[in-house]
A and B are shown apart, each in its own frame.
Chain A
Amino acid sequence: MTSVTNIETNPWPERSAGAVEPLLQISDLRISFTTAAGEVEAVKGVDLTVYPGQSVAIVGESGSGKSTTAHAIIDLLPGTGRVTGGSIRFAGRELVGLDRKQVEDVRGKEIGLVPQDPMSNLNPVWRIGKQVEEALVANGFKGNKAQRRTRVAELLAEAGLPDAERRAAQFPHEFSGGMRQRALIAIGLASRPKLLIADEPTSALDVTVQKKILDHLEGLTHELGTAVLFITHDLGLAAERAEHLVVMYKGRVVESGPSREILSNPQHPYTRRLVSAAPSLASRRIQSAHERGQVSPDQLTAHGSARPGDDVVVARNLTKKFKIRGSRPGSHTDFTAVDDVSFALPRGRTLALVGESGSGKSTAANMVLGLLEPTSGTVEFDGQDVTALSSREQFAFRRRVQPVFQNPYGSLDPMVSIYRTLEEPLRLHKTGDAKEREARVRELLEMVALPASTMRRYPNELSGGQRQRIAVARALALNPEVIVLDEAVSALDVLVQAQVLTLLNDLQAQLGLSYLFITHDLAVVRQIADEVVVMQSGKVVEHAATDEVFDNPRQQYTRDLLAAIPGSSLETGTIAG
């Protein structure tokens, strides 16, 4: 594996405190939000120091207060949020309590921001160049139209956007996610700030794009001598990109120190859990799902899964073409989303379909689920062609193949109680009477390790992890043989993700389930899958056993994907799991 950035060769050595005046010093910062229930303190006394040119990462899960802390620095707290105590000193100047004009002077000019979601952070109605230009003009760039345009093109090119001059005249929707993020980096660095706040700058991007952009950002800020404050939920990424880590949990800093030290010797229990659960780091140690799940051999044979050649789902030469409307009425071009893809899911095993966005993995999954009709090729379930089923047979088929989708917030009906959610499939398939169904709902909740009282609640009363457990329980309701997990853990925090993966693994061992696991995250694959199919632009580029793919990737694309996993270049040493 080619390691580009290694902590050993980090270009910024850890600075000794006191030798240099800190650039940013946050002490005892408190931030509250006013809600209907009164004041809620989101940040409870945070201390943080960033030296000139240093890179510091705040790591924490959603709700830990990491983004709130960062936004408070440039007075961009959302809604009712306000600083209730403490101080933020920047370059010897107190930032808390500045008036609007003074804060506007600091923003952009002294402190830049690269926001989280490139899709929503550019104004869709203005050209990219115009939006970069605003950042120049607002911070005192003097120059005529031609000079401004030249400078904008320079900045975009510097952020790694090819063909910058032409691109500047385009609108955000003509840009890919990675290109938008480059434009946002150009905006953040336009006026050469001393500090750049990078708020999860690449969490919405594919891993390979993420790596390229972070490498570029690192080189650029180093060259300009800009200090960087990273906000991230990914410990591996934080450790790889920053020299100093600050771990936040529930509004407090639980641990801070040099990245290497925290990674190899975490002190706080929360940090320890985080280090052991981080898929990017843990995947080095975890072997196949079977060993981890302690599946006894007789259990497997009981479900007939040990027999070779017993494949519950077989996809043969699957192809899906979509028509794309042309510029003239009636004209169209074919877009091949899935191109001659074949794979087999052995009974009782987990097959992972891995690829970046646009690789066709979800389209393939939808064809397996019978939700999309293939243009050509077949999907066989238990020897039967899924595409040729009558509506009655399809109804029976649905019962045996169940999906779990990515977004636990979108896949549960907010108006329907958990009981009804779990009972509905049973009722639809006329399983048992009311009493038996209730007993089954209790059993299902127990399987996913939720209390029986959950059944009376509604989705909005549950956390993301709990909701995803409900989604798993709903998929299990009808005793299916195959579960298609489409990015089922991607939206969850690492610790929750680890729990759900363990749960899925245990259930597989208990019930002999077969999983088709769709994901973009190779790190997760190592923890759950037996076989991996790597897809790129609709085609299968590599198909092998999981360990084989990780230890001995044959294709360049797979190697790139592996190298792009954040933290893949880090050696964590021995960590007590």
Chain B
Amino acid sequence: MLWYIGRRLLQVIPVFLGATLLLYAMVFALPGDPVAALGGERGLSAAVQEQIRSQYNLDKPFIVQYLLYLKGVVTLDFGMTFSHRPVIDIIAEAVPITFRLALMALVIEAIFGIGFGLVAGLRKGGVFDGTVLVLSLLVIAVPTFVLGFVMQFVVGVQLGWLPITAGRDPNFVSLLMPAMVLAATSLAYVLRLTRTSVAENISADYVRTARAKGLPRAQVTTRHVLRNSLIPVVTFLGADLGALMGGAIVTEGIFNIPGVGGTLFRAITTGENTLVVSLTTLLVLVYIVANLLVDLLYAALDPRIRYA
């Protein structure tokens, strides 16, 4: 087990190097000159541009720039933005907000996805099952921004139950609606996965054995049907945490949340290469760690799986 974790953690190194190199190369290849664009309409003098370029190492060859960046990362110095803010500060501001949002979304999709999926799976072919299936299909089909605007209008404006936007330093209540919107699509998938899994397990031989023991129905359902059905669902949820963090761009835009998504979007449009690469690399790392956790969780959920 320790060997396995060690090996998986070692894999992070080549993935990190590959991801940063690839990202750096792609950002480098982007058209347009961010330094020239800094001056706006009037433009900057050639001397000032030169100075900024050398300050940010933009005058050096690509590979040197990349190595200098790596050196910075190792010493936890992610560099500065053009407006002289340390990149690490911006990350430290944006990441916790997005993380909170993603975590809330994850909890919502886990509770409702598994709950509805269980009931639908137990009553496969019934009215509840049919309704929930159609609704989940609808949620999957409708784009996130449509759902976001509809929720803002109905829940925020008409009913006035929840704040419409989050703004700076959002609290739990103001993040509730964005989290619901962010969770919606994944919730539909979790629901369908749980439903299929439950419907399959309910006719498993060991469930019949459990019933034949005289175990009450509630216990058969929780201990034997649900417990076993959760194995694929939990794996999905774990991998989804990474997707929720990186995929919050649209939701953060709609609800005006100063998270990773908005920051990344602005960094791309203004050509803040170090910020783009750093944030994206961070998301890559979140994916890797989330996947490792999923694999370890998998072994905890299913005793048949042992890593060596």
Separation of A139 and B302 alpha carbons in the complex (Å)? 28
Which segment, of B18-26, B38-46, B219-227, B246-254, faces chain A?
B219-227
> B204 to chain A: which residues have CB within 8 Å?
120
B210 CB-CB contact with A under 8 Å = yes
A105 CB-CB contact with B under 8 Å = yes
> A125 to chain B: which residues have CB within 8 Å?
227-228, 231, 301-303
CB distance from A541 to the nearest CB of B (A): 33
- 7 cross-chain pairs, A with B, having the tightest CB-CB distances, nearest first: A108-B214, A113-B212, A107-B214, A120-B205, A135-B213, A123-B206, A171-B303
By secondary structure, the B interface counts as: helix
Contact of B205 among A108, A109, A121, A171 (CB under 8 A): A121
Within 8 A of B (CB), among A107-124: 107-109, 112-113, 115-117, 120-124
A74 CB-CB contact with B under 8 Å = yes
A100 CB-CB contact with B under 8 Å = yes
B216 CB-CB contact with A under 8 Å = yes
Which segment, of A205-213, A324-332, A333-341, faces chain B?
A324-332
A427 CB-CB contact with B under 8 Å = no
Contact of B215 among A79, A113, A115, A138 (CB under 8 A): A138
* Interface bits A116-155 vs B (CB < 8 Å: 1, else 0): 1100111111100000001100110000000000000000
Contact of B3 among A124, A126, A138, A328 (CB under 8 A): A328
From A121, A173, A325, A326, residue with most partner B Cβ within 10 Å: A121
* Interface bits A538-571 vs B (CB < 8 Å: 1, else 0): 0000000000000000000000000000000000
Would you list 24 pairs from A and B whose C-beta atoms are within 8 A, ordered by A residue? A76-B211, A79-B203, A100-B217, A105-B214, A106-B214, A108-B213, A109-B214, A112-B212, A115-B209, A116-B205, A117-B205, A122-B209, A123-B207, A123-B228, A124-B228, A124-B304, A125-B301, A125-B302, A126-B227, A134-B215, A134-B219, A135-B214, A138-B214, A138-B216
Known: A74-B212, A134-B219, A325-B308. 16 other contacts (CB 8 A): A76-B208, A76-B212, A78-B203, A104-B215, A105-B214, A108-B212, A115-B208, A121-B205, A121-B209, A122-B209, A123-B207, A123-B227, A124-B206, A138-B214, A188-B212, A328-B308
* Interface bits A181-201 vs B (CB < 8 Å: 1, else 0): 000100110110000000000
CB of A107 within 8 A of CB of B304, answer: no
CB of B308 within 8 A of CB of A326, answer: yes
Contact of B212 among A78, A107, A126 (CB under 8 A): A107
Separation of A188 and B210 alpha carbons in the complex (Å)? 10
Interfacial residues, chain B to chain A (CB-CB below 8 A): 3, 7, 203-217, 219, 223-224, 227-228, 231, 301-304, 308
CB distance from B218 to the nearest CB of A (A): 11
> B301 to chain A: which residues have CB within 8 Å?
125
Separation of A18 and B223 alpha carbons in the complex (Å)? 44
CB distance from A35 to the nearest CB of B (A): 14
> B207 to chain A: which residues have CB within 8 Å?
123
From B203, B213, B302, residue with most partner A Cβ within 10 Å: B213
> A76 to chain B: which residues have CB within 8 Å?
208, 211-212
Contact of B214 among A104, A117, A122, A123 (CB under 8 A): A104
Contact of B302 among A124, A184, A325 (CB under 8 A): A124
Separation of A138 and B215 alpha carbons in the complex (Å)? 5
Separation of A290 and B158 alpha carbons in the complex (Å)? 90
> A115 to chain B: which residues have CB within 8 Å?
205, 208-209, 212
Beyond A76-B212, A123-B206, whether A138 also contacts B219 by CB under 8 A is: yes
> B304 to chain A: which residues have CB within 8 Å?
124, 171, 173
> A124 to chain B: which residues have CB within 8 Å?
206, 228, 302-304
CB of B7 within 8 A of CB of A173, answer: no
The chain A residue sitting closest to B306, CB to CB, is A327
The chain A residue sitting closest to B209, CB to CB, is A121
Contact of A327 among B214, B224, B302, B308 (CB under 8 A): B308
> B7 to chain A: which residues have CB within 8 Å?
329
> B228 to chain A: which residues have CB within 8 Å?
123-125
CB distance from B217 to the nearest CB of A (A): 6
